[in-house]
Amino acid sequence: MNYLEKYNEWLNDPAISEEDKEDLRNIKNNEKEIEDRFYKDLEFGTAGLRGVIGIGTNRMNKYTVTKATQGLANYIVKKNGQERGVAIAYDSRRMSQEFSEETALCLNANGIKTYRFDSLRPTPELSFAVRQLGCIAGIVITASHNPPEYNGYKVYWEDGAQIVEPTDKEIINEVNAITDLSTIKTMSKKEAEEKGLYNKIGKEIDDKYIDTLKKLVVNQDAINKMQKDIKIVYTPLHGTGNIPVQRILKEIGFENVYVVPEQEKPDGEFPTVSYPNPEDPKAFTLALELAKRVNADIVLANDPDADRLGVYVKDTKTGEYIQFNGNMTGNLLAEYILSQKKANGTLPANGAVIKTIVSSNLTDAIAKEYNVKLFSTLTGFKNIAKIIRGFEENNNEYECLYSYEESYGCIIGTHARDKDGIVAVMTLCEAAAYYKMNGMTLWDQMNNMYRKYGYYKEKQFSITLKGAEGAEQIKKMMDDLRNNPPSEIGKYKVISVGDYNSQVIHNNETGKETSTNLPKSNVLYYELEDDAWCCVRPSGTEPKIKFYMGVKENSMEEAEKELQNIENSMKKYAE
């Protein structure tokens, strides 16, 4: 069925409200808009269902949300998971509260218990709640750091992680089997409550979550000594992080926490930022102004669902604030946690650190220094969670101490199975206290790490190509790279090419082929000489193709120069 046929089907479908049909009639003369809304159905990617809010099969609306929910419900019923129930959370975005309510009532109508948070909560707390409540699944309504016109729907399974193979495909098959919107079930909230199906959760889970995070502090003494001296500026970017961040920092002892007042309250319009992404320097404009006024040591920003963290730290030599990218933050935390555990005698013999394949090779050097096992996996925190689950299923062969990915997400320990921006705030503030106690800023410590391990530098760029035409262009780029693999990128020879779609790594020097030992994924990875690398993949959540790259050199100037050369080389493939 083409997009025009789908459009007309919705216009004539009795399950579509008259109000929504009127919205569709208003675009009857705009074929491009019709195509964009109906050329495909929203699909699960690395972070679930995500799209622009509106009416159509390629939009986030009550029909696409409840269709996904009905498919999930059918799957849960087949697994006899109705009594275990589903935990549900939502963020501050447009329609998040409404979508979460529709989701709960659809599940309830299928005889499935729900535990819905009484107000907005961070994504990591949802992951934590699934495990605490023994639910079979969890759902959070969020589009993370996307612009305000987006919303999304993330599904978690019983281990508190986002769904992975084969569960994701099995659920999607159930969703795709729903072709008649009138078969989607719902019921009134009153009836659902009377039957004990619709349950609210809140303070009890909050308390358990905060108590669990407090146990992850590795040097309380440093906090106690520096709690009056460290100045912290924080912004939740109009999202869910404000209450839990203020609470955890207060309870572990920090006294000088300044929240950006203009961005403190939840607001799905994100009025002070065009793009609520802590990777974007523009998102820090107000926070940096406040930092300069109060002379802050560290400036922190969560994205709206508080699973990611952006960081600026003060350089006392220049007085300026320096942005840390996800790799810098990730590696600084890895070094801090492992060094502190070694110092206090709690570093286990079977310790492990996990990263994604597009994250920094500096992590490999840190893991080697502290004699912990390093695991690498595909992009997406659900793949990290899969490795942690494997540890548990294998009689706790390894103890996961820390995991991160370059896209500004990490978790200390295993209390949740997704990125946790709240625990990241807590531990970075703790690290700032420790290093200040020793006469250093976080920027000083980062430079110490470069001198110790080498000057690792990474970056990524992406190209946005929207709609059906853009999807075809992205496919062509990936096909061209597969069919014509480069032998050199920048000044570096390509040692091997990993095609994660065919799950084969081809060594250019020996001709030998080995398995990636990872699930099938549309990713190309180039191992270069001298510990340099490059990777290309389409985004799983946005209409983008992403290029990642990293180098190791003897100085930061040399690293930046060679990284730029790699970027210039890769941009030729995107022309």
Q: Quick: pLDDT tens for 320-333.
A: 999 999 999 999 99
Each as own residue / partner, the long-range contacts of residues 514-521 (CB below 8 Å, 24 or more positions apart, any chain) are 518/357, 518/377, 518/378, 518/383, 519/164, 519/165, 519/378, 519/383, 521/378, 521/379
SS3 at position 212: helix
Percent of the chain with pLDDT over 70: 99
Strand order in the sheet with 114-117: 49-52, 150-157, 137-141, 86-90, 114-117, 198-201
Assess whether pLDDT exceeds 70 at residue 216.
yes
For 209-452, CATH gives 3.40.120.10
SS3 233: strand
Query: Cα 142 to the chain's mean position, in Å?
Result: 11
Average pLDDT, the chain: 96
Which residues, at least 6 apart from 545, have a Cβ–Cβ distance to it below 8 Å? 462, 463, 465, 474, 477, 478, 536, 537, 538, 539, 574
Backbone angles phi, psi at 424, to 5 degrees: -65, -40
Query: pLDDT class for 44, splitting at 50, 70, 90?
Result: low
pLDDT of residue 53: 98
Residue 144 is a catalytic residue: yes
Identify the band that residue 525 occupies on the pLDDT scale cut at 50, 70 and 90: very high
Contact 352, 401 (CB under 8 A): yes
Q: pLDDT band for 143, please (50, 70, 90 cuts).
A: very high
Question: Residue 181, exposed/middle/buried by CB under 10 A (0-12, 13-18, 19+)?
Answer: middle
Instruction: Dig out the tokens for 31 from the structure.
Output: 């074929």
Q: Is the pLDDT of residue 521 over 60?
A: yes
pTM for this entry: 0.94
Note the CATH architecture for domain 455-574: 2-Layer Sandwich (3.30)
Q: What's the pLDDT at 496?
A: 97
- Encoded amino acid at 162, one letter: Q
Q: Reduced to 3 states, what is the DSSP secondary structure of residue 572?
A: helix
Residue 185: per-residue pLDDT: 98
**Number of neighbouring beta carbons within 10 Å of residue 320:** 12
pLDDT tens per residue across span 343-363: 999 999 999 999 999 999 999
Q: Where in the chain is the domain with CATH 3.40.120.10?
A: 40-201, 209-452
Using one digit for the tens of pLDDT, what is the confidence trace for 244-254? Answer: 999 999 999 99
User: Of 129, 130, 126, 112, which Cα lies nearest the Cα of 75?
Assistant: 112
Confidence of residue 47 (pLDDT cuts 50, 70, 90): low
Domain with CATH 3.30.310.50 in the chain: 455-574
Please state which CATH class domain 40-201 belongs to. Answer: alpha beta
In angstroms, the CA 374 to CA 449 distance is: 18
The catalytic position among 96, 100, 127, 144 is 144
Q: Token pair for residue 530?
A: 């001298």
DSSP assignment, residue 178?
A: -
Those residues whose C-beta lies under 8 Å from the C-beta of residue 341, and which sit 6 or more positions away, are: 218, 347, 351, 401
Could you identify the residue written with the tokens 């009377």?
194
Q: With 80 as the cut, is the pLDDT of residue 92 above it?
A: yes
Does the structure show a pLDDT above 90 at 121? Answer: yes
Query: DSSP 3-state assignment of 34?
Result: helix
